[in-house]
A = this chain, B = another copy of it.
Amino acid sequence: MKTYSVTELGNMDSITRVTLKEKLDLTGAEISANRLPAGADIPFAHSHKRNEEIYIFTSGKGLFLLDGTKLPVKEGTAVRVSPSCVRSIRADNPTGLSYFCIQVDEGSLVQATQDDGIISEEKPNW
């Protein structure tokens, strides 16, 4: 496998739904970029068998239904959702709602950042 993979999603506002796992050969996450147009909703609720999901809302406004609670969301709202939580999303009118959804195996992270990173002795060669 190459040490990196690249894809171009284009302008964030142009996205309806795109998933990155296959495009980027991801092995530790599925990531989707999503946009619900004004007043639209996901027509079902869902939960997960084993995956934690993290939602990051990046523009617009809406409601996030989480085990029966209607949480108002907007640009900058970030939410962790446990596998068992039953969830759905609705976009406000006229703003619509854009968000990333990151799906990972619950409990899978062993270490991160300072504990996992290795700072190179050589400075970046720009």
A residues sitting closer than 8 Å to B (CB atoms) are 1-12, 19-21, 23-31, 33, 41-52, 54, 56, 58-59, 63, 65-68, 70-71, 75-82, 84-86, 88, 90, 100, 102-113, 116-120, 122-126
What residues on B are CB-neighbors of A6 within 8 Å?
Answer: 71, 77-79
Contacts of A27 in B (CB 8 A): 52, 106-109
A65 to chain B, nearest CB (A): 5
Question: How many angstroms from the CA of A86 to the CA of B119 in the assembled complex?
Answer: 9
For A73, give the chain B residue with the smallest CB separation. Answer: B6
B109 touches A28 (CB 8 A): yes
Q: How often does this chain occur in the complex, in copies?
A: 2
User: Complex formed: what's the CA distance from A56 to B66 in Å?
Assistant: 26
Give the Cβ gap from A45 to chain B, nearest Cβ, in Å: 4
Cβ-defined contact, B67 with A3, below 8 A:
yes
Return the contact of A102 from the options B102, B107, B125 (Cβ within 8 A).
Answer: B102
